[in-house]
Amino acid sequence: MKPSAFEYHRVRSVDEAVSLLTRLGGDAKLLAGGQSLVGMMNFRLARPSALIDISLVDALNYITSNEEGLRIGALTSHRAVERLDDPVASERFSVLPRSAHWIGHYAIRSVGTFGGSIAHADPAAEWCMLALLLDAEVVAVGPQGERVVPIGDFFTGFLQTDLAEDEMLTEVRIRTAWPHAALHEFSRRHGDFAIVAAAAAVQMSGDHCTDARIVIGGVDSTVIRVADAESVLTGATINAEAIGEAAAAAARAVDPPEDLNGSAAYRRHLTEVLVRRALDEAIAHGE
């Protein structure tokens, strides 16, 4: 349970981090909160040749909101999102602070970072699900400068993203307010990774749904949107029947894996139950 040897570099700016990433090559990894990476290194599931410690790049620790939406700096801790007290942001994007308690535990949330979670791209990670749910954009900086990646193009496979080897995630942007949104999950022990997690967001006009997003975690190699469930809701009058139909459509659409934590059928069952719970809370919230 000890990591293999690596070179350690501490940087204070994005420019320094990117130039080191470029110089050290593909075996170098960025170290932010380290709450996933260091555990994987202790198991030697990850053996980077070098770590570039960005945890003290203070310029990336912020949450700002204005009429263009919400911006979260990559090094903002989970705990800072959980304690978000900006009145505008916490009304329009309240699903972020409301969902943070599902992430690990107090110590993990104090150290782990929002950007680190997105870049790690775990298929059951709450921030990855909510980024997809809320149509986020990811800002990546590389030697050629900055580019903005729509979240739908960002997660490319299990723990894989669209980031190039010499690129660094610096910010996540969410433009559209989704006051009616919620996330629910199930795990055997609170704070463990979810066996299945579901997030739902709806735009409402009276009791009429004008747009919907359903995202499931833990059933595929990445977090996924379920168009079949969204289309049940969009344009419909929202009542218990519509919610039940959407949940059933989500359960039919997913193709979950089997492992020690549960069979595919069990995960499909959880998908239906959790989509229903997420929709119930999403619709009730902000009424």
Residues at the site binding other proteins, with contacts judged by CB under 8 A = 1-8, 10, 31, 34-35, 38-39, 42-43, 51, 53, 55, 79, 101, 105-108, 110-111, 190-191
- Residue 76 or 271: the one with the smaller Cβ distance to other proteins is 76
CB atoms within 10 A of CB 105: 11
Smallest distance from other proteins to CB 247, Å: 28
DSSP label at 189?
A: S
Minimum separation from the CB atom of position 105 to other proteins (A):
3
Amino acid code (one letter) for 99: S
- In angstroms, the CA 216 to CA 199 distance is 6
Minimum distance of other proteins from residue 3's CB (angstroms): 5
Q: Which one, 112 or 218, has the nearer CB to other proteins?
A: 112
Between 240-253 and 264-284, two packed helices, what is the crossing angle to 10 degrees?
150
Q: Which residue has the tokens 């997913």?
A: 254
Please, what is the minimum distance in Å from the beta carbon of residue 98 to other proteins?
14
Q: Helix, strand or coil for residue 14?
A: helix
Is 145 or 189 the residue whose CB approaches other proteins more closely?
Answer: 189
Nearer to other proteins, 2 or 206 (CB): 2
Smallest distance, other proteins to C-beta of residue 55, A: 7
CB 131 within 8 A of CB 163: no
Cβ-in-10-Å burial (0-12, 13-18, 19+) of 244 comes to middle
Cα 226 to Cα 279: distance, rounded to the nearest angstrom: 14
The DSSP element (H or E) to which 27 belongs, if any, is none
User: Which residue number, 1 or 145, has a Cβ lying nearer to other proteins?
Assistant: 1
